[in-house]
Chain A
Amino acid sequence: MNKKITMSELVDILALKHGGTKREVENFLKELMSLMTETISSGETLRINGLGVFKPVWVEERASVNVQTGEPTIIPGHYKLTFTPAKSVREAVNEPFACFCVEELPDDAPLVSDVRDVDEMGQDAGDDDTEVCDADTISVEQAVGTPVEQEQETAHEIVPIMPEPISEAEAPLSIEKDTADSNPIVEDADDLVEVDEVEGIEDSDETPASPAEVDEAAQDDAPAPLEVQQSPAVDTHESLSKAYRKGIWIGVAVSMVVFVLAMVALYFCFPQWVMPLLGEDAPDDLSQIVTDTIVEPCDTTLLVAPDSIAVDTVTMYTEPQQLVAPVVVDTIRRGVFLTNISYKYYGHKAFWVYIYEENSHIISNPDNVPVGTVITIPAAEKYGIDANDTTAINVALEKADTIKQRMKR
């Protein structure tokens, strides 16, 4: 089996079979081989009964390629020896597979690969273990998902707390007194809602704590209207625009809810943007803000005057930009250049110059920024970056030319 039989072994075997001496057999073999070699080498066809036919065949010249140099070469035409075993020999050698014969395949018979796919599918369907595993993971995912949803709900519950006292009290306030005090309160409360979300999303362990704090704040809010009602003398002209203010408050409430929803949506859609921002800001601010909101409502009146509402709505809409703008950072990796980053953040590669200017204290050569360099991405408004504005692109390109010339010098 898979042995290599050499000349001497063959002599032994033949001698055993023939019954003659080894010398005799060896002589015979040597003569046979030399004769065969002569015949074949001379280009003649040699037929040996009971073995096969040795026949030289002419091979036409053909084009080829030198594997090492890739140089095209032409292999000249030459003779090649072919050996065709005799039929009896073929059958004897192929005995183990003799039972097979060529079969015609029907046209709709599946290919071998198709059959395998079907088998695998069948195995998967029958495999109960995997299904059980899947069910487990799904239930775990649901369990994980619920705290976040609950947190969302709490966030929504918190929002209506703000307008509630007004509707209960319906007592107008003096603008002069309250605008200064109430403005920070509302902003603080606003922050509280945001921070709460962040806290819940970042660290689910703290979730029980935050609603409690909010409840405290809400409880503190509750007595405030009483104080307000104690000083009704102050309001005079305010009563006239009561209904008008009510409408505004509803609008504010709606806008607050929309804002919170937008923040939540922003978090879920782009967690990679929000996480680094909130992760840095939230922990420090949290303690201050919570304590502030707990303390302040006690000694100040809660309700907000109409003037502050306008301010409030404005701040609410400007807030996301203020949050996102200053903290955007990116790291230079292999294959990442300033142009890539510019395209990623601004939608056009020409604005790399502004990234370079923003980080010129770190980057010495904009063509070769070391891997691992952490660069800050400036806000698009800071340099008037707009990928759709051709003039802005041209300005950036001119700037790039000046920078390049400066680098040459």
Chain B
Amino acid sequence: MLIINRYRVEHKELVKKLQQRLDKSREEVEAMLDIFCDTVVERCSQMDSIMIQGLGTFEARKKMERISVNPVTGKRMLVPPKVVLVFKPNTAIKNQLKTRKEL
């Protein structure tokens, strides 16, 4: 519960920070953010990829169907094919994360 609450805060924090930076009301910022998210999802549903400078790429990837075996019961399951939304971070972000030491 704690973790989930923290995430919620993260989103609210993001909105708050944006509010401060852009000097706009919370509703406006939330509306913009929703539109942004909707656009990303909508475009990715059409198998497009969205490149955002300084952040990374959102893209949809097809996954083939496969047979997975439950190691406990030994039952074989046929996992159907699916499309997954994937985010690939920018190399700058990746490198920055790499250089960080374990907390």
Contact = CB atoms under 8 A, between A and B. Distances in A.
A101 to B, nearest CB: 7
Contacts of B54: 33-34, 37
A86 to B, nearest CB: 9
A176 to B, nearest CB: 95
Interface stretch (A9-17, A114-122, A131-139, A202-210): A9-17
Interface string B63-94: 00101000000011111111111110110011
B20 to A, nearest CB: 10
A104 B76 contact: yes
Contacts of A352: none
Nearest to B36: A14
Interface stretch (A49-57, A258-266, A371-379, A392-400): A49-57
Given A5-B50, A56-B97, A105 B82 contact: no
B19 to A, nearest CB: 10
Contacts of B93: 37, 40-41, 81
A32 B94 CA distance: 18
Nearest to A40: B93
A49 B76 CA distance: 35
A78 B97 contact: yes
Given A5-B48, A5-B50, A94-B83, A28 B22 contact: yes
A4 interface: yes
A35 B14 contact: yes
A32 B35 CA distance: 13
Contacts of A40: 89, 93, 97
A177 interface: no
A83 B50 CA distance: 15
Contact of A27 (B7, B22, B40): B22
Contacts of B39: 10, 13-14, 17
B61 to A, nearest CB: 10
B41 to A, nearest CB: 5
Given A39-B14, A102-B77, A1 B47 contact: yes
Contacts of A29: 36, 52
Contacts of A104: 75-78
Contacts of A78: 97-98, 100
Interface size class of A (residues with CB under 8 A): 35 or more
B62 to A, nearest CB: 9
A105 B70 CA distance: 11
A51 B52 contact: no
A93 interface: yes
B99 to A, nearest CB: 8
A4 B53 CA distance: 13
A1 B78 CA distance: 28
A78 B37 CA distance: 29
Nearest to B48: A3
Given A32-B33, A51-B37, A45 B77 contact: no
A47 B11 contact: yes
Interface string A46-89: 11111111101010000000000000000001111101010001
7 contacts: A4-B48, A31-B22, A40-B97, A45-B7, A47-B8, A80-B98, A93-B84
Contact of B78 (A39, A79, A97, A102): A102
A40 B67 CA distance: 35
A53 B7 contact: yes
Contacts of B49: 2-5
A93 B83 contact: yes
Contacts of A14: 32, 35-36, 39
B89 to A, nearest CB: 5
A196 B14 CA distance: 102
B85 A52 contact: yes
Q: Please list the 9 inter-chain residue pairs (A to B) with the smallest Cβ-Cβ separation, ordered nearest first.
A: A100-B80, A83-B87, A47-B7, A50-B37, A79-B97, A105-B76, A78-B98, A51-B37, A41-B96
